[in-house]
Amino acid sequence: MSQLVVILGDHLNTKISSLANFNKETDKVLMSEVKEEATYVKHHKKKIVFVFSAMRHFSNELQNHGFATIYVKYDAADNHGCLFEQVKYTCSLHTFKSITIMHPGEYRLLEEVMTWESKLNITVNITPDNRFIATQTFFSDWADGRKQYRMEFFYREMRKQTNVLMDDKQPMGGKWNYDADNRKPFGKNPDIPSRTLLAPDAITNEVLTLVETQFSDHFGELSNFAFATTREGALGVLSEFIKIRLVDYGQYQDAMLEGNPWLFHSHIGLYLNTGLLMPYEVIQAAEEAFLNGHVPINSAEGFIRQILGWREYVRGFYWYFMPSLKENNYLEAKRALPDFYWTGKTRMNCLSQCVNDTKEHAYAHHIQRLMVLGNFALLTGIEPKAINEWYLVVYADAYEWVELPNVSSMVLFADAGNLASKPYAASGSYINKMSNYCKSCDYSVKEKTGTQACPFNYLYWHFLHRHQDKLRSNPRMGMIYSTMSKMDQTKFNHMLDDADTFLLKLENNEEI
Ligand SMILES: Cc1cc2nc3c(=O)[nH]c(=O)nc-3n(C[C@H](O)[C@H](O)[C@H](O)COP(=O)(O)OP(=O)(O)OC[C@H]3O[C@@H](n4cnc5c(N)ncnc54)[C@H](O)[C@@H]3O)c2cc1C
Ligand code: SF4
């Protein structure tokens, strides 16, 4: 009697906990390109190519290491279209004592897996998700009883637990966080290294053809696919980042540049989220680069914080607050998602650039996601479900456990401040400071009112004005509300009128 180990498309590492007790003499692995998972939202075409190709490569790797593997391709005659039916069918062909599966990353899938035992009348073992450093219990022990859940304090605990960038019990360099040295915009003609490009091999080419024919109505472009699809390739991307870009990661972390979303970022989110890379090895590589004197502390710490801090924190946060996290809508946002989020057709250059980067690459960096695309959704009050679905569709690294806290809690302030101490709302001047988008925009970032004025400028004040009952008492918003109360009333009312006109145009799907 043997066990069936079910491996999901984001669990692609031989070190996953479900393989720990695999008996190569008796057990089998099942991997399947499931239609239900590929289409429950219309994922970006490049994301589907990446996941299917990485799965196929991983299944070959398993077989080469002696793991008996049943692999069901998307267009195979015996593909049953949904995970449960595929497992049921496989169980009908073989005799298994039990099923083992690593804890799925998403709540929806965990609920589904938890029904298998009774439906199939077989023992189902759910092993811990070891693609993360912190366990869910570690997060809930930290979070229980707190009034506020701030990433910064969780991150310090993680530093102490892992001894990363620590000098005995103190943070290396004397500070936990070096953001004060970061957040610089680019000067004129910045010298930006190119990202690592990997040419598709035969397996990826086969998947590209499949996606072109079967997913033609999905968002995004397929051309110039250059992601790694193996662990070896992902390690290569990481190594090039550490050698070439990490040195400037800190200072340019928040900068944006027309026509280039990659900049000094690592581009490894999709590999971490599918298991091709494990978080601790990434952190160790960055820490080593600092200890060897190859990169400054502001870059090493800034990068490590994203993974040891933010990534671990949002994952803990997701499981701690699900399922209610999905229903939050503190600011009662109701607006439908404007078409330009799909087409990129808008005269607002920053939005058009960020949507087009996303369409082309299934990638935009953090500040594009937060302070341009997210900021617009926050200021105009786009309904959480619609904008969450958009973010889940469009990025190659998007999975609900990481997308939902970032979008609902960070961008939309939909949980009334559990995650963020205040809304990440900004006027056009922030975008102008951190990017060169405004230089070639139809609108003028310097103007506050009138048809030429940058819409972010009046939308910002409209947002603060319409939510003052909910936001004014926030201690971090006191200064801005005090500025608002001192503003010239005629000018202020003019901005509110301009915002109303703009929002009406948006409602009528007119070009903005
Ligand atoms: C609205 C919004 C939606 C987002 N959706 C996703 C998503 O679906 N999937 C996703 O992995 N990240 C998401 N992020 C976080 C972040 O933007 C991406 O992880 C990052 O842009 C990926 O590119 P990179 O690998 O070059 O990141 P880098 O800037 O090089 O950062 C390194 C790594 O740190 C981690 N990281 C950084 N910021 C965060 C964060 N806020 N939350 C979790 N991990 C973080 C990621 O694993 C990332 O790969 C979102 C952020 C926002 C504001
Ligand atoms: S002027 Fe306003 S809309 Fe245009 S790019 Fe700048 S911030 Fe964006």
Please state whether the peptide bond connecting residue 323 to the residue before it is cis, i.e. omega within 30 degrees of 0. Answer: yes
- At 289, list the tokens: 């680069």
Calculate how far, in angstroms, residue 490's C-alpha sits from the geometric centre of ligand 1.
41
Ligand nearest the Cα atom of residue 373? 1
Range of the domain at 112: 2-127
Q: Tell me the CA–centroid distance for residue 1 and ligand 1, in Å.
A: 43
3 state SS for 57-81: HHHHHHHHCCCCEEEECCCCCCCCC
- Number of structural domains found in the chain: 3
Whether 112 and 35 map to the same domain: the answer is: yes
Residues 425, 412: Cα–Cα separation, whole Å? 9
Amino acid identity for residue 497 in this structure: D
Instruction: Give me the numbers of helices (H) and strands (E) for the chain, helices first please.
Output: 25, 7
**Domain CATH code at residue 471:** 1.10.579.10
Any domain includes 365: yes
User: Atom 22, ligand 1: which residue's CA is nearest?
Assistant: 269
Q: Which residues pair with 69 in a beta bridge?
A: 29
Same domain, yes or no: 288 and 141: yes
Check residue 189 and give its pLDDT.
81
Q: Are residues 276 and 148 in the same domain?
A: yes
Pocket test for ligand 2, best of 431, 440, 506 (most atoms within 8 A of CB): 431
Domain boundary among 321, 354, 385: 321
What's 83's domain CATH number? 3.40.50.620
Residues 301 and 192 in one domain: yes
107 & 146 share domain: no
Q: Are residues 238 and 377 in the same domain?
A: no
Q: Does the Cβ of 407 fall within 6 Å of ligand 1?
A: yes
Which of the listed residues 294, 321, 348 is the one where a domain comes to its end? 321
Q: Are residues 406 and 440 in the same domain?
A: yes
What is the Cα–Cα distance from 387 to 394, expressed in whole angstroms?
11
Does one domain contain both 370 and 302? no
Ligand 2 contacts CB of residue 441 (under 6 A): yes
Q: Are residues 422 and 301 in the same domain?
A: no
**Same domain (yes/no): 287, 355:** no
Calculate how far, in angstroms, residue 434's C-alpha sits from the geometric centre of ligand 2. 11
Coil vs helix vs strand at 303: helix
Q: Would you state the pLDDT for residue 1?
A: 66
Task: Please report whether residue 335 resides in a domain.
Answer: no
Q: Which listed ligand is nearest to 262 at the C-alpha?
A: 1
Q: How far is CA 66 from CA 21, 27, 71, in A?
A: 14, 11, 14
Residue with the smallest CA separation from ligand 2 atom 1 is: 445
Q: Is residue 149 domain-shared with residue 286, that is, in the same domain?
A: yes
Which atom of ligand 1 sits closest to the CA of residue 279?
Answer: 47
Question: Each residue's pLDDT tens digit in the chain (512 positions)?
Answer: 699 999 999 999 999 999 999 999 999 999 999 999 999 999 999 999 999 999 999 999 999 999 999 999 999 999 999 999 999 999 999 999 999 999 999 999 999 999 999 999 999 999 999 999 999 999 999 999 998 899 999 999 999 999 999 999 999 999 999 998 888 999 888 899 999 999 999 999 999 999 999 999 999 999 999 999 999 999 999 999 999 999 999 999 999 999 999 999 999 999 999 999 999 999 999 999 999 999 999 999 999 999 999 999 999 999 999 999 999 999 999 999 999 999 999 999 999 999 999 999 999 999 999 999 999 999 999 999 999 999 999 999 999 999 999 999 999 999 999 999 999 999 999 999 999 999 999 999 999 999 999 999 999 999 999 999 999 999 999 999 999 999 999 999 999 999 999 999 999 989 99
Q: Residue 411's pLDDT is what?
A: 98
CA distance 484 to 187: 32
Give 223's contacts (C-beta < 8 A, 6+ positions apart).
Answer: none
Shared-domain flag, residues 303 and 366: no
Q: Find the helix or strand (DSSP H, E) in which 272 lies.
A: helix 269-272
CATH assignment of the domain containing 250:
1.25.40.80
Beta carbon of 397 within 6 Å of any ligand 1 atom: yes
